Amino acid sequence: MLPLISVLTYMRNAIQLGRKRWAIESFFKTIKHRFGLHRFGQSTKLGVYRWLILSLLAQPAVGVCLSLSSLD
């Protein structure tokens, strides 16, 4: 059986990761609606281009969010 401190540390880390993921998920939802991906998805050529651009922008955006959160 795990010590209580270990379990509490694990739970705290899980909560922090969940908060970061929630911020990223809400960011993607907002961007999806602004680019119109919620309507087009990958079923049209324009939708594929939009999805590609969003995917290419996601990595740097996540990097900036993580670097800003590490400053806190």
Which pLDDT value is given to residue 71? 67
Q: Compute CA distances 19 → 39, 47, 54, whole Å.
A: 27, 29, 22
Task: Determine the average pLDDT of the residues in 38-50.
Answer: 72
Between CA 18 and CA 24 the distance in angstroms is: 10
pLDDT tens for each residue of 11-24: 888 888 887 888 77
Q: Determine the distance from the C-alpha atom of residue 52 to the mean position of all C-alpha atoms in its chain, rounded to a whole number.
A: 16
Q: Compute CA distances 4 → 1, 7, 17, whole Å.
A: 9, 5, 20
pLDDT band of 46, cuts 50, 70, 90: confident
Domain extent for 66: 4-70
| Number of independent structural domains in the chain | 1
pLDDT tens for each residue of 53-66: 888 888 888 888 88
What count of residues does the chain have? 72
pLDDT band of 42, cuts 50, 70, 90: low
pLDDT band of 41, cuts 50, 70, 90: low
